[in-house]
Amino acid sequence: MKKVIPLIAVGLLTVSFLAVAQDRSKDRRADMQVKAQERFQSLDTNRDGKLSYAEFQNNPKHRERFEKADLNRDGGLTQDEIKQAREQNKQMRQERRAKGREKMQAAREKLQRLDVDKDQALTRAEIGNEMPKLLENFDVIDGNNDGKVTRDEMRIARMAMRAERQSQAK
Protein backbone atom coordinates (compact mmCIF):
# COMPACT_ATOMS: atom_id res chain seq x y z
CA MET A 1 0.00 0.00 0.00
CA LYS A 2 2.87 2.35 0.78
CA LYS A 3 4.17 1.89 -2.79
CA VAL A 4 0.79 2.47 -4.40
CA ILE A 5 0.18 5.94 -2.95
CA PRO A 6 3.39 7.47 -4.40
CA LEU A 7 2.64 5.82 -7.76
CA ILE A 8 -0.85 7.32 -7.76
CA ALA A 9 0.58 10.72 -6.84
CA VAL A 10 3.14 10.53 -9.64
CA GLY A 11 0.41 9.46 -12.06
CA LEU A 12 -1.82 12.37 -11.07
CA LEU A 13 1.08 14.82 -11.39
CA THR A 14 1.93 13.45 -14.82
CA VAL A 15 -1.66 13.74 -16.02
CA SER A 16 -1.96 17.30 -14.70
CA PHE A 17 1.38 18.23 -16.28
CA LEU A 18 0.25 16.85 -19.65
CA ALA A 19 -3.05 18.73 -19.40
CA VAL A 20 -1.23 21.99 -18.69
CA ALA A 21 1.20 21.38 -21.56
CA GLN A 22 -1.68 20.66 -23.93
CA ASP A 23 -3.49 23.83 -22.84
CA ARG A 24 -0.31 25.85 -23.43
CA SER A 25 0.03 24.34 -26.90
CA LYS A 26 -3.56 25.29 -27.74
CA ASP A 27 -2.99 28.78 -26.34
CA ARG A 28 0.18 29.17 -28.41
CA ARG A 29 -1.61 28.01 -31.56
CA ALA A 30 -4.50 30.41 -30.89
CA ASP A 31 -2.04 33.27 -30.30
CA MET A 32 -0.28 32.50 -33.58
CA GLN A 33 -3.61 32.53 -35.44
CA VAL A 34 -4.57 35.86 -33.86
CA LYS A 35 -1.19 37.37 -34.79
CA ALA A 36 -1.49 36.08 -38.37
CA GLN A 37 -4.95 37.62 -38.61
CA GLU A 38 -3.62 40.93 -37.26
CA ARG A 39 -0.70 40.91 -39.76
CA PHE A 40 -3.12 40.23 -42.61
CA GLN A 41 -5.41 43.06 -41.53
CA SER A 42 -2.51 45.48 -41.14
CA LEU A 43 -1.30 44.69 -44.68
CA ASP A 44 -4.82 44.86 -46.15
CA THR A 45 -4.85 48.67 -46.28
CA ASN A 46 -7.98 48.98 -48.47
CA ARG A 47 -9.86 46.45 -46.29
CA ASP A 48 -11.12 44.35 -49.21
CA GLY A 49 -10.28 41.02 -47.54
CA LYS A 50 -7.31 40.24 -49.75
CA LEU A 51 -3.78 41.49 -50.26
CA SER A 52 -2.87 43.00 -53.60
CA TYR A 53 0.70 43.18 -54.74
CA ALA A 54 0.57 46.94 -54.27
CA GLU A 55 -0.32 46.43 -50.59
CA PHE A 56 2.36 43.78 -50.25
CA GLN A 57 4.96 45.80 -52.14
CA ASN A 58 6.47 47.36 -49.00
CA ASN A 59 8.66 44.26 -48.80
CA PRO A 60 10.04 43.57 -52.32
CA LYS A 61 11.79 40.32 -51.39
CA HIS A 62 8.35 38.73 -51.02
CA ARG A 63 7.35 39.22 -54.69
CA GLU A 64 8.19 35.66 -55.69
CA ARG A 65 6.42 34.28 -52.64
CA PHE A 66 3.42 36.47 -53.42
CA GLU A 67 3.22 35.22 -56.97
CA LYS A 68 3.45 31.58 -55.84
CA ALA A 69 0.71 32.09 -53.28
CA ASP A 70 -1.64 33.86 -55.72
CA LEU A 71 -3.16 30.59 -56.92
CA ASN A 72 -5.95 32.09 -59.04
CA ARG A 73 -3.60 34.74 -60.51
CA ASP A 74 -5.98 37.61 -59.77
CA GLY A 75 -3.25 39.84 -58.32
CA GLY A 76 -4.53 39.45 -54.77
CA LEU A 77 -4.11 37.06 -51.88
CA THR A 78 -7.03 35.88 -49.83
CA GLN A 79 -6.54 34.32 -46.43
CA ASP A 80 -7.43 30.95 -47.96
CA GLU A 81 -4.67 31.34 -50.56
CA ILE A 82 -2.22 32.24 -47.81
CA LYS A 83 -3.25 29.16 -45.81
CA GLN A 84 -2.86 26.94 -48.88
CA ALA A 85 0.56 28.44 -49.63
CA ARG A 86 1.60 27.88 -46.02
CA GLU A 87 0.49 24.24 -46.22
CA GLN A 88 2.39 23.77 -49.50
CA ASN A 89 5.51 25.30 -47.94
CA LYS A 90 5.13 23.08 -44.90
CA GLN A 91 4.83 20.01 -47.12
CA MET A 92 7.89 21.04 -49.16
CA ARG A 93 9.92 21.57 -45.95
CA GLN A 94 8.90 18.14 -44.70
CA GLU A 95 9.94 16.57 -48.00
CA ARG A 96 13.30 18.40 -47.94
CA ARG A 97 13.89 17.28 -44.35
CA ALA A 98 13.07 13.68 -45.27
CA LYS A 99 15.49 13.83 -48.22
CA GLY A 100 18.12 15.38 -45.96
CA ARG A 101 17.65 12.62 -43.40
CA GLU A 102 17.98 10.01 -46.15
CA LYS A 103 21.20 11.62 -47.40
CA MET A 104 22.61 11.81 -43.89
CA GLN A 105 21.75 8.16 -43.26
CA ALA A 106 23.41 7.14 -46.53
CA ALA A 107 26.51 9.18 -45.61
CA ARG A 108 26.65 7.59 -42.13
CA GLU A 109 26.41 4.13 -43.67
CA LYS A 110 29.15 4.95 -46.15
CA LEU A 111 31.42 6.27 -43.39
CA GLN A 112 30.78 3.14 -41.32
CA ARG A 113 31.57 0.96 -44.31
CA LEU A 114 34.83 2.85 -44.91
CA ASP A 115 35.87 2.57 -41.24
CA VAL A 116 37.58 -0.79 -41.70
CA ASP A 117 39.19 -0.95 -38.25
CA LYS A 118 35.97 0.26 -36.55
CA ASP A 119 37.75 2.90 -34.45
CA GLN A 120 35.13 5.57 -35.25
CA ALA A 121 37.69 7.56 -37.27
CA LEU A 122 38.81 7.56 -40.89
CA THR A 123 42.37 7.68 -42.12
CA ARG A 124 43.44 8.71 -45.61
CA ALA A 125 43.95 5.05 -46.48
CA GLU A 126 40.43 4.12 -45.36
CA ILE A 127 38.90 6.95 -47.38
CA GLY A 128 40.87 6.03 -50.50
CA ASN A 129 39.08 7.22 -53.65
CA GLU A 130 35.60 6.80 -52.16
CA MET A 131 35.16 10.38 -50.95
CA PRO A 132 37.38 12.77 -52.92
CA LYS A 133 36.02 15.95 -51.23
CA LEU A 134 36.72 14.55 -47.78
CA LEU A 135 40.19 13.50 -48.86
CA GLU A 136 40.81 16.91 -50.44
CA ASN A 137 39.89 18.71 -47.20
CA PHE A 138 41.37 16.11 -44.86
CA ASP A 139 44.03 18.40 -43.36
CA VAL A 140 41.50 21.14 -42.66
CA ILE A 141 38.98 18.75 -41.08
CA ASP A 142 41.58 16.88 -38.99
CA GLY A 143 41.55 19.45 -36.19
CA ASN A 144 43.98 17.70 -33.86
CA ASN A 145 46.35 16.60 -36.67
CA ASP A 146 46.36 12.96 -35.57
CA GLY A 147 45.97 11.62 -39.11
CA LYS A 148 42.37 10.59 -38.47
CA VAL A 149 39.06 12.34 -39.06
CA THR A 150 36.34 11.69 -36.49
CA ARG A 151 32.62 12.39 -36.69
CA ASP A 152 33.04 15.32 -34.27
CA GLU A 153 35.80 16.84 -36.41
CA MET A 154 33.57 16.54 -39.47
CA ARG A 155 30.65 18.15 -37.59
CA ILE A 156 32.86 21.05 -36.44
CA ALA A 157 34.20 21.57 -39.97
CA ARG A 158 30.65 21.47 -41.37
CA MET A 159 29.50 24.09 -38.85
CA ALA A 160 32.49 26.31 -39.64
CA MET A 161 31.82 26.07 -43.39
CA ARG A 162 28.13 26.86 -42.84
CA ALA A 163 29.01 29.90 -40.71
CA GLU A 164 31.46 31.10 -43.37
CA ARG A 165 28.83 30.75 -46.12
CA GLN A 166 26.30 32.66 -44.04
CA SER A 167 28.75 35.48 -43.32
CA GLN A 168 29.59 35.73 -47.03
CA ALA A 169 25.89 35.87 -47.94
CA LYS A 170 25.35 38.95 -45.78
- The CATH number of whichever domain residue 71 belongs to comes to 1.10.238.10
**What are 91-131's pLDDT values in tens digits?**
999 999 999 999 989 988 988 999 999 999 999 999 888 88
Q: What pTM, to 2 d.p., does this model score?
A: 0.50
Contact status, residue 142 vs residue 154, Cβ threshold 8 Å: no
pLDDT at position 58 is 66
Same domain, 98 and 140: no
Among the three residues 98, 114, 130, which one is the final residue of a domain in this structure?
114
Average pLDDT over every residue of 86-95:
92
Domain count for the chain, please give it: 2
Full residue range of the structural domain in which residue 157 is found: 118-170
User: Does 83 share its domain with 136?
Assistant: no
The C-alpha atoms of residue 100 and residue 122 are separated, in whole angstroms, by 23
Distances (CA, A) of 133 to 70, 90, 130, 156, 169: 42, 32, 9, 16, 23
Residue 20 lies in a domain: no
The Cα angle at residue 125 between residues 123 and 126, in degrees rounded to 5: 65
